[in-house]
Amino acid sequence: MKTVDARGQACPKPLIAAKKALAEMPAGETLTILIDNPTSRQNVERFLRDNGMSPRWTEENGVFTLTVAKPAGELAKPDAESYCRTDSRAGHVIVFASNRMGDGSDELGELLIKSLINIIAETSPLPSHIVFYNSGIFLAVEGSTLIDSLRELEKKGVRLLVCGTCLQYYGRTDSLRVGTISNMYEILQTMTDAGHVVKP
Amino acid sequence: MADCGVVLFHTTSAAFGAEKALIRAGIKCALIPVPRELSTDCGIAMRFDWPDRENVIRILQEAGVEIAGTHKTERRH
């Protein structure tokens, strides 16, 4: 059994140490990794899973202990460093599936979504992406009072994806004023890759 | 960082009326949650550029929109 003590280390160090230890071990042997930050634990776990392993982990007093058996053969996804998410902006995705927020009064829903979108720029961390589909596209087209706020977010590096099918359905393809036209593949992949999805 | 102000309201319908009136007058404005250091009944405020203050107050008065005051705030970003 081999142990890697990555306590006190932030990504990408635990990932690199795990990869190195796996390379030096025979197949079938158990690797134990000690990590004390949740982000690294998540990243290392994803790296191990993508390489066909099923890590188990326990937590005690803020220290995570991952155990995994080394599989036979080469690693399918050997690029450990790419699993590192140190950029806080890579964390979450906001999805606007409607141009209203909440159910009940449409008028209130309109007010709420405006007040939310107008303050996203001053909250931290920023989302990596904002996705718009179905009536959510109306937030990004001509006539929306939110174009300026959304443009500000784009300037700050937030990627705005607006569903092309929805734009076409509502006859607004030429009225898009912010963001890029996207499709279900990109939208689904974006939501899948997100640390978490925020649906106001 | 440009100074901003907020108009506060007693009701959400006043907030809506304010948005209509200011957009019609071409004044840059944004509906936002009331900044944490202030408090109102309805929780919604209208952010505007502080230099526009006199215009904002006049336009809202002319439109019959009741307000609960204006405050200067610093843009947080």
- The structure's pTM equals 0.66
Indicate the residue of B19, B28, B77 with minimum beta-carbon distance to A122.
Answer: B77
Q: In what order do the strands lie in the sheet with B44-49?
A: B29-33, B44-49, B3-8, B70-74
Residue A185 has, within 13 A of its CA and on its CB side, a CA count of 0
Indicate the residue of B28, B31, B75 with minimum beta-carbon distance to A114.
Answer: B31
Pairing of strands A129-132, A159-163: parallel
Query: In a structure prediction context, what are the per-residue pLDDT tens digits for chain A, which is 200 residues long?
Result: 999 999 999 888 999 999 999 999 999 999 999 999 888 888 898 889 888 888 898 989 989 999 999 998 888 888 888 787 654 445 899 999 999 999 999 999 999 999 999 999 988 888 999 999 999 999 999 999 999 999 999 999 899 999 999 999 999 999 999 999 999 989 998 998 888 999 99
Say which residues have a Cβ less than 8 Å from residue A71's Cβ, sequence separation at least 6: A27, A51, A52, A53
Inter-chain CB proximity B30 and A118 less than 8 Å: yes
- What are residue A125's DSSP bridge partners? none
Per CB-CB distance under 8 Å, the chain A contacts of B23 are 145
The label of the residue with tokens 């007058």 reads: B25
Q: What is the ipTM of this complex?
A: 0.85
Inter-chain CB proximity B30 and A148 less than 8 Å: yes
The single-letter DSSP state of residue A132 is E
Q: B5, B21 in Cβ contact below 8 A?
A: no
CA distance A173 to A141: 9
